[in-house]
Amino acid sequence: MAARAKHRDRIVRTAARLFRRDGYAATGTNDIVAASGAPKGSLYHYFPDGKAQIAAEAVGYAAGKVTRTLADLAARPGHPADAVRAYGALLAGWLAQSGFRDGCPITTTLLELAPAEAAVTAAGQAAFDGWTAIFAAALAAAGVRPAQARTLALTAIAAFEGALILARVARSPQPIEEVTAEIARLFELTAAPQFELFAAEEAADKGKLQPRGG
């Protein structure tokens, strides 16, 4: 049973990688089977609805990896802008390491299948909503009003998605670097007064601030 579940996971991981690099239409089920090493019968067993079902699972899997990365960065001490800079650096590094062949792990599939394939579209929407929520929560924790925090977070996600495409075309990390710097600046401008107040209060609670002499 465990071995069969392993085949399922391997198919999903392989499909996510192939769809990201080569696209959904250009990747056949035989390609997925060959690259994953899973028996062909397991593909039809676990994915009776065919390649579109695999695509929905692959989007969910790839999105989950990004979600965990963003959540880890946002949870680190510091300003939300620090998480933006760290994420931008990761994106630029991953893209350069792939020879500028890998973009966002879900965008290629979504551009081909959304909104026609409902399950794939839902998986993509859940991914973007989740990524936006992480940045929004970090901004809100820094004192930004919730509505404004969500708008800024959505702007950040949209900017990163566009920067990945531009960087692939230019075969350069420069678009990602420039977008990262601008989004970080916007985060700092918006959250700076509130963040500084919260930081001061937290430091005072921990006894790090000494009262001034009379």
Supply the pTM of this predicted model. Answer: 0.85
Distance CA 23, CA 107 (A): 9
For the cut 70, the answer to whether the pLDDT of residue 1 exceeds it is no
Contact 24, 113 (CB under 8 A): yes
How many angstroms separate the CA atoms of 26 and 24, rounded?
6
Q: How confident is residue 198, by pLDDT bands cut at 50, 70 and 90? A: low
Q: Are the CB atoms for 147 and 92 separated by under 8 Å?
A: no
Which of left, alpha, beta for 193 (phi over 0: left; psi -120 to 50: alpha)? alpha
Mean pLDDT for the chain?
89
Alpha-carbon distance of 42 to 206, in angstroms, equals 57
How far is 176 from 203, CA to CA, in rounded Å?
34
Q: Which domains does the chain have, with CATH numbers?
A: 53-205 (1.10.357.10)
More confident residue, 192 or 200: 192
Phi/psi for 86 (5° steps) reads -65, -40
Residue 126 scores a pLDDT above 70:
yes
Give the whole-angstrom CA distance, residue 196 versus residue 23.
45
- CA 100 – CA 47 distance, rounded (Å): 31
Confidence of residue 40 (pLDDT cuts 50, 70, 90): confident
Residue 102 per-residue DSSP state: -
Neighbouring C-beta atoms of residue 115, cutoff 10 Å: 11
Percentage of residues in the chain having pLDDT higher than 70: 87
pLDDT in tens, 132-149: 999 999 999 999 999 999
Q: Report the percent of the chain where pLDDT is more than 90.
A: 78
Distances (CA, A) of 162 to 41, 107, 141, 168, 181: 38, 10, 27, 10, 14
**Predicted confidence (pLDDT) at residue 119 exceeds the cutoff of 70:** yes
**What distance in Å separates the CA atoms of residue 176 and residue 92, rounded to the nearest whole number?**
6
Please compute the mean of the pLDDT values over residues 5-23 and round it to a whole number: 92
Q: Is the pLDDT of residue 26 over 90?
A: yes
Cis ω for the linkage preceding 80 (within 30 of 0): no
Helices (H) and strands (E) in the chain, counts: 9, 0
Q: How far apart are the first and last CA of the chain?
A: 74
The 10s digit of each residue's pLDDT in 166-190 is: 999 999 999 999 999 999 999 999 9
